[in-house]
Amino acid sequence: MSEILPISQLGATILRQRAQEISDLRQSDIQQLIGDLIKTVKSAQGVGIAAPQVDRSYRLIVVASRPNSRYPQAPKMRPTAMINPQIIAHSDEIVKGWEGCLSVPGIRGLVPRYQEIEIEYLNRKGLVKTQVFRDFVARICQHEIDHLEGIVFTDRVEIEAEIITEAEYNRSHS
């Protein structure tokens, strides 16, 4: 049975460390963690989550875009677990967009990201997948893969004035 896990907050050491590769994803604890991440991201009104955010140093992310209170315009997709994901190609075009993070509550930042990326990863069954993502979902993927490298979205903001509170973001973007 999947459970909702506590989310590590900015300042937790694990959020600044490179996560370890998963060598055997058939381990029951890895399969359990995938289920827990899916349940946790839905409960927290997120659109993606990385294992380090729940205090697990694994190269595992879940991308789960769907409209919710934090991202009402998010496209709907089935939650996708990506094990050992790597960006293998990207567009030349970089666009800035507002991001938040379950590990940095109450803050949004204007972050430059590639418009389109191609990712190679293992799915939950251990099959190698290659997938292209654009726009908002590409942004989620890049944000979550950053967590696997110990990078938080605020590290990518170019100027301090592009970091605002969630309340101000909601007031000015509604």
Task: For residue 161, name the pLDDT band (cuts at 50, 70, 90).
Answer: very high
Note the pLDDT of residue 26.
76
The tens digit of pLDDT for each residue in 38-62 reads 999 999 999 999 999 999 999 999 9
Decide: 81 and 60 in contact? Cβ < 8 Å. yes
The answer to whether 143 is annotated as binding is: yes
pTM over 0.85: yes
Q: Which residues does the annotation mark as catalytic?
A: 144
The tens digit of pLDDT for each residue in 143-157 reads 999 999 999 999 999
The answer to whether 173 is annotated as binding is: no
Beta-strand runs (E) in 2-106: 48-50, 60-63, 80-90, 94-99
Please, what are the domains in the chain?
13-172 (3.90.45.10)
